[in-house]
Structure 1
Amino acid sequence: MADAYPQRIVCLTEEPTEVLYALGEERRIVGISGFTVRPARARREKPRVSAFTSAKIGQILALAPDLAIGFSDIQADIARELIAAGVEVWISNHRSVDGILAYIRRLGAMVGAHERSEAYARCAEAHLAAVRAAAAKLPRRPKVYFEEWDEPPITGIRWVAELVRIAGGDDVFPELAREPLAKRRILADPGEVVRRAPDLILGSWCGKRFRPEKVAARPGWAAIPAVRDGELHEIKSPLILQPGPAALFDGLDALHAVIAAWAVRRGAGEEE
């Protein structure tokens, strides 16, 4: 009996590639995003046919895909072109930790790997629970400002804020984390960060290196506890800004490592 599931999948972002490799279904992938870094072997094995806001439509069509998978309204134009050319397209739009877990399960079902995707999702859930339990033992919870872009300053998206909380911190802009669009998370007044006085500043500037010295030099920011104490840290964007497994495993671990180290330092300081 012929395989009834998609045989030639183009992944327009990293997370479907990461999930399909984790499920042992990488043979179905015929093209990937140029921003893909996980798993590393995908860049060696699969042709890169898209960025995030643009794609090589001709090259994608030449691959004869029976499914293209992307993420968010930002890829609407790519999806429109592929649909017009007769390609079936799935654009996910999940923005939360629960959404990432559901995405893993849904994608697994779409390729006939329901049991493996369920096991993988449960593994992720167990990891979330383990980090949450470890965070509950920390002596203090820091206030955290997470910045995903610098010019203009853009605060963290919902799954990032949720992972910060699971890791043991509290996002200082919870009301903005609920906004799905980056343009709705732009800080009109960067001075609001000063007023909210975060203990930690975490930077993950998509596509470029975080520059803590530039952040510390912003007008008035010397008064922020995080700046005063030198608590500005980078979380690599491939670990945290993709709404896929990386965020639930390595991204969460990176957040917890920074937060736990802060809690130890602050606890030691109080004892002195």
Structure 2
Amino acid sequence: MTGPRRIVCLTEEPTETLYALGEQDRIVGISGFTVRPAIARKQKPKVSAFTSAKIGEILKLEPDFVVGFSDIQADIAAELIRHGVEVWISNHRSVDGILDYIRRLGALVGAYERATAYADHLQRGLDGIADAAARLPHRPKVYFEEWDDPPITGIRWVAELVRIAGGEDIFPERAAESLARQRILEDASEVVRRAPDIILGSWCGKKFQPAKVAARPGWDTIPAVRDGELHEIKSPMILQPGPAALTDGVGAIAAIIRDWAIRHG
């Protein structure tokens, strides 16, 4: 076995990727938010949330490599580094970034060829969805909400997947912002002005409530609200920048857009 042998995954996407590559035996600890693959929750100890981690429990596992994601996990990474642990915090935000992440993680564990083949497989799936979407008669305007209070929107990979699936994200300028606080809608009535045909909700850690969204002041005039086009995308399918978003996540978005196009054809 080459590369790290005892890996702790602080988020779900490295866990899902390593299982997909057949390298799950290297994983000794996972995030408590991991749901994909389901078997990981049964096989691996849960040692972290997203913004916090059980540093002592992680150290007991004697990891030789820890994988995390984004600036939000910077404090966890710093603490582990101070204890002599090697840490990789990825910060990929785009569809291409996810595919590259899979290849890089595969290379780190000596499975670059398998990782490349897997990434190519995922790309072919996206290409197929894009080809089907290109035949739709209309492209709906889509508002994606990752949190409700305050409203947050514009994750780059989600905006890209919406376009691949045949829609147009109504806040493309937000996709350039990597930090959640930079994607807060200071004026929620801007959604009303941009008049989305479809509203997608994926509230991290809690259930999306279409009725609550529809009841916001002035939102009854939005085409999506008027037509009942408010849909939940389960957060494990779309809010992690990993394989789930490029498979089940984009698939769910494509199905919603396809159904909208049939109804509005």
TM-score category of the 2 structures, normalised to the smaller one: over 0.9
- Which position in structure 2 is the counterpart of 1:41? 39
3-state SS, counterpart of residue 202 of structure 1:
strand
- Which position in structure 2 is the counterpart of 1:96? 94
Task: Give the CA deviation at 1:177.
Answer: 1.4
Question: Could you give the per-residue CA deviations for residues 190-218 of structure 1, whole angstroms, max 9, x where no partner exists?
Answer: 00000000000000000000000000000
Task: Give the CA deviation at 1:175.
Answer: 0.2
- 1:1-272 aligned at under 5 Å gives the runs 3-267=1-265
3-state SS, counterpart of residue 34 of structure 2:
coil
The residue identity in structure 2 corresponding to 1:77 is D
Task: Give the CA deviation at 1:253.
Answer: 0.2
The residue identity in structure 2 corresponding to 1:252 is V
Residue segments in structure 1 that go unaligned for 5+ positions in a row:
268-272
Residue segments in structure 2 that go unaligned for 5+ positions in a row:
none
Measure, in 2, the Cα distance between the counterparts of 1:177 and 1:148.
Answer: 13
Task: Give the CA deviation at 1:71.
Answer: 0.1
RMSD: 0.5
Measure, in 2, the Cα distance between the counterparts of 1:198 and 1:114.
Answer: 41
3-state SS, counterpart of residue 226 of structure 1:
helix
Question: Could you give the per-residue CA deviations for residues 158-206 of structure 1, whole angstroms, max 9, x where no partner exists?
Answer: 0000000000000000001111010000000000000000000000000
Measure, in 1, the Cα distance between the counterparts of 2:231 and 2:19.
Answer: 30
Question: Could you give the per-residue CA deviations for residues 22-59 of structure 1, whole angstroms, max 9, x where no partner exists?
Answer: 00000000000000000000000000000000000000
Measure, in 2, the Cα distance between the counterparts of 1:255 and 1:240.
Answer: 10
Number of residue equivalences: 265
Contact 2:154–2:172 under 8 Å retained in 1: no
Measure, in 2, the Cα distance between the counterparts of 1:249 and 1:156.
Answer: 19
With structure 2 as the length reference, what TM-score do the two structures score?
Answer: 0.99
Task: Give the CA deviation at 1:4.
Answer: 3.2
Question: Could you give the per-residue CA deviations for residues 214-255 of structure 1, whole angstroms, max 9, x where no partner exists?
Answer: 000000000100001111000010000000000000001000
Measure, in 1, the Cα distance between the counterparts of 2:157 and 2:30.
Answer: 23
Q: Which runs of 4+ in 1 moved over 2 A?
A: none
3-state SS, counterpart of residue 53 of structure 1:
coil
Measure, in 2, the Cα distance between the counterparts of 1:5 and 1:143.
Answer: 45
The residue identity in structure 2 corresponding to 1:11 is C
3-state SS, counterpart of residue 85 of structure 2:
coil
Measure, in 1, the Cα distance between the counterparts of 2:112 and 2:192.
Answer: 47
Measure, in 2, the Cα distance between the counterparts of 1:72 and 1:155.
Answer: 17
Identity value in percent: 75
Measure, in 2, the Cα distance between the counterparts of 1:131 and 1:164.
Answer: 11
With structure 1 as the length reference, what TM-score do the two structures score?
Answer: 0.97
The residue identity in structure 2 corresponding to 1:48 is K
Measure, in 2, the Cα distance between the counterparts of 1:228 and 1:128.
Answer: 31
3-state SS, counterpart of residue 54 of structure 1:
coil
Measure, in 2, the Cα distance between the counterparts of 1:223 and 1:21.
Answer: 46
